[in-house]
Amino acid sequence: MSMKQQQTDVPMRVGQQMTLTIRSLGINGEGIGYYKKKIVFVEKALPGEVVIAEVTDVREKYATARLVKVKEASAARVEPPCPVYEACGGCSLQHMEYQAQLAGKRELVIESLRKYAKLADPPVRETLGMPDPWGYRNKAQFQVGDRSGQLVAGLYRAGSHELVDLQACRIQHEATNAIVETAKEVIGKLGIPVYDERKRTGIVRTIVARVAFATGETQLTLVTATPDIPRVKELVLELRYRLPSLVSIVQNINPKKTSLVFGETTRVLWGKQGIAEKLGELSFELSARAFFQLNPEQTVKLYDEVKKAAALTGRERVFDLYCGTGTIGLWLAPLAKEVRGIEVIPEAVEDARRNAAHNGVTNASFHVGRAEVLLPQWAKQGIHADVVVVDPPRTGLDSALIETLLRVKPEKIVYVSCNPSTLAKDLHRLLERYDLAYVQPVDMFPHTPHVECCSLLVRK
């Protein structure tokens, strides 16, 4: 056996260092390189860079490696502005210049469509970004912990159980940062015990701060392990005094050992049940647990893309599947003859009905159930959709629903997706009966690898 053959047969091992050229971005924001045809994921490496990386894990189809040194840097590499960027892991693309992030997200979508939808040249438009990609999140949900007598609140360091204290998160709206900081100070000052999940003792588990961009109203929710909060009157007075924008202070009780943030019971400690927010012409009353898009500015752009794709004339019947609290359906209602939303979560449907009434929308109805059951039932009654909008969770469309859509064949399907790989897999099946007109990526979460898409499918 020649020396050369022997070398190629040597398996990759943990601790091995190698020089790699980074080809593209992975779905978690890592750089992708190849070593002897094996894919290697390198965290914090950027496309076009030549890096030295050290292997940390070897699997059958891929390996992961940590970045040791950048030998040739990308022109898109920038200094992350956040002081805890390395530790936090909440947003993993701050080391990449923003325009390059937008281009990278478009590439991610193109790659997914090539790989899973088997499209050689997918029609993907330029990513719609933000003029100012900071301070865009309207809700901060931070775990609370005790670090040697000091109260901290933030996110867990990636892959660990160590809390990173986030004093002023750059992607959060400044109002939510101020609420979290003040709540930490007041809870600490009043000596209210912090929950310890190992010992299952203490009271305060999570601080949730939410701001309405349109009205400036803010809400604080304290998730506690017990129904009683000691010194609660002083707590409320102090918070109201220090935070004049607060209109709602709420307690949610979650006594269970669980990774879910909220428990079943919610009670208002002071003020209103919720805060008033607007999206375009629509107004919403947001209670503590009501779902709402985290980036209102980009949500309007995304919903406008849905509106453009649907191209309604006032004569169409629209079905809004996975409708959640009804926002997309209500956005389209003024331009449609009728809108019907379907959602499996009963609380979300109640919210959607309330939102419709609150906005005086009379041509939209919301139904609890599974779309693959309701669509054929409605079809039997002669009720068909001209346009179907789907906005599924990260797992994509239910297989039975794809079958149903291929059977009932609406004229247009507008597919809103938060996961390019499940989007591409679903499109692959839908392309039996539909042509893909275009995919429009929208950047909902700058500095993270997430990308939202609005795709238009037209019946063949």
Residues taking part in catalysis? 418
Tell me whether residue 300 is in a domain: yes
81-90, 223-232, 241-250: least confidently modelled range: 81-90
Residue 310 to residue 331: CA distance in whole angstroms: 11
Does residue 278 belong to any structural domain of this protein? yes
Domain shared by 332 and 434, yes or no: yes
Sort strands 139-147 and 38-42 into parallel, antiparallel or unpaired.
Answer: unpaired
Asked if pLDDT for residue 163 goes beyond 50, the answer is yes
SS3 at position 419: coil
CATH number for the domain spanning 186: value is 2.40.50.1070
The side-by-side arrangement of strands in the sheet containing 246-253 is 163-165, 150-156, 139-147, 204-211, 218-224, 246-253, 265-271
The C-alpha angle with vertex 408 and arms to 405 and 413, in degrees rounded to 5, equals 50
Question: In this predicted model, what pLDDT tens digit does every residue of 291-309 receive, in sequence order?
Answer: 899 999 999 999 999 999 9
Based on the domain organization, do 145 and 171 belong to the same domain? yes
Residue 379: C-alpha distances to residues 173, 365, 371, 394, 406 (Å): 45, 17, 12, 28, 13
6 has a pLDDT exceeding 50: no
Q: Please give the C-alpha separations between residue 51 and each of 25, 68, 70, 443, in angstroms, as whole numbers.
A: 14, 7, 4, 28
Q: 312 and 453: one domain?
A: yes
Angstrom distance (rounded) from CA 355 to CA 350? 9
Q: Please report the pLDDT score of residue 161 as a whole number.
A: 81
Based on the fold, state whether residues 257 and 339 are members of the same structural domain: no
Q: 282 and 182 share a domain?
A: yes
Q: What pLDDT is stored for residue 157 in this prediction? A: 85
Residues 431 and 301 in one domain: yes
Residues 339-354, mean pLDDT to the nearest whole number = 96
Residue 99 has pLDDT above 60, yes or no: yes
The reply to whether 314 and 235 lie within a common domain is no
The answer to whether residue 92 is domain-embedded is no
- Separation in Å, CA 120 to CA 23, 55, 110, 257, 458: 19, 33, 9, 48, 19
Are residues 272 and 300 both part of a single domain? no
pLDDT at 311 over 70: yes
Is residue 102 situated within a structural domain? no
* pLDDT, tens only, 204-237: 999 999 999 999 999 999 999 999 999 999 999 9
What pLDDT does residue 149 have? 83
CB neighbourhood size of 355 (10 A): 22
Domain of 25? Answer: 3-77
Q: What is the pLDDT of residue 125?
A: 98
- The better pLDDT of the pair 7, 110 is held by 110
pLDDT tens digit string along 120-157? 999 999 999 999 999 999 999 999 999 888 899 999 88
Residue 90 lies in a domain: no
